[in-house]
Structure 1
Amino acid sequence: MDFTFDVFAKTRGFFKAYLEELSLAQLNAIPNGFNNNIIWNIGHSIVTEQILVYKLSGLKPNVSDALIAKYKKGTKPDGKATQEEVDELKALAFSTIEHTEADFGSKVFKTFNEYTLSTTGNTLTNVNQAIQFALIHEGMHAGYILALLRALKV
């Protein structure tokens, strides 16, 4: 899993760079033909990793319930994100994945509630699979962010 966590760190580095380098207007912009924006994709990626790994393991996620409600599957941007929200996601980009890696190394994840993925129909049966799929999911949303950047001509 070292490789998986290394890739997570690199992906989160891209997310953090976007949060630092793009304006609030660019982060919030929803170009024609899109249903969401850059900041939503970042928040959704962070929240989804926490849901797949912690909630399905019966543990408390390292993000607030309010953040989960705002960015979980089935949501979309509900207004303009503030600088405070950008700063929160910037802090969570690394802290959440570092916490997950530490908890994985400490064997904190003892149980797992199976979950069938709506996108592929595959069933996650353990935390290793959840972590691996969370990375795949995050890569998909990194691609969406690149498409949004092109549409915004950034």
Structure 2
Amino acid sequence: MTFTFDVFTNIRPYFQQYLEKCSLETLNKIPKGYNNNIIWNIGHVLVTSQILCYKLSGLPMHVSDAMVAKYQKGSKPEGPVSQAEVDEIKELLKSTLSTLESDYQKGAFNNFQEYTVSTTGNTLKSVDDALQFALFHEGLHLGYIMALIRAVKN
């Protein structure tokens, strides 16, 4: 799984850059024809990786229940996000990945509950499967963010 964690380590800075370079208004803007925004997509990938790895392993997640409710699958932006929440997400992008890798190395994810993902129909049978799917999921949302950036500028 070294390669998977290497890719996570390389993809997360893209999300960080958007959080640092975009104004709060840009992060919160929902362009015409879209149903979410940049900050929702970044919060969503953060929460999803926590759900797929920790919750499905019966372990406590490293994000709040409020954050899960706000960014989980099926949610949508309900209002603007504050700069404080952007800063929290920015920090969690780093800290949760570091903790995830450490917990993985310690063998913490040994009680994984199988889960079939709606996106592809694949069944995740282990935390290794969950990590690989989470990486695909982050790439998918990175592309969506790139489209949102273009839409916001127009």
TM range (shorter): over 0.9
Corresponding position of 1:78:
78
In 2, Cα distance between equivalents of 1:33 and 1:11 = 26
1:153 Cα offset (Å): 2.1
SS of the equivalent of 1:74 reads: coil
Query: Which consecutive aligned stretches of 4+ in structure 1 deviate over 2 angstroms post-superposition?
Result: none
In 2, Cα distance between equivalents of 1:95 and 1:124 = 24
Q: Which amino acid aligns with 1:122?
A: N
In 2, Cα distance between equivalents of 1:34 and 1:66 = 24
**Taking every aligned residue pair, what percent have the same amino acid on both sides?**
60
Gaps of at least 5 residues in structure 1 are none
In 1, Cα distance between equivalents of 2:81 and 2:108 = 33
RMSD: 0.9
Matches within 5 A, 1:82-101: 82-101=82-101
Q: Which moved more, 1:40-49 or 1:10-19?
A: 10-19
Equivalent residues, number: 154
Matches within 5 A, 1:134-145: 134-145=134-145
Deviations 1:35-94 (A, max 9, x none): 100000000000000000000000001111110010000000010000010000000011
In 2, Cα distance between equivalents of 1:104 and 1:34 = 36
In 2, Cα distance between equivalents of 1:71 and 1:10 = 22
State yes or no: 1:114 paired with 2:114: yes
When normalised by structure 1's length, the TM-score is 0.98
Gaps of at least 5 residues in structure 2 are none
When normalised by structure 2's length, the TM-score is 0.98
Corresponding position of 2:60:
60
Corresponding position of 2:49:
49
Corresponding position of 1:150:
150
1:7 Cα offset (Å): 1.1
In 2, Cα distance between equivalents of 1:48 and 1:39 = 14
State yes or no: 1:36 paired with 2:57: no
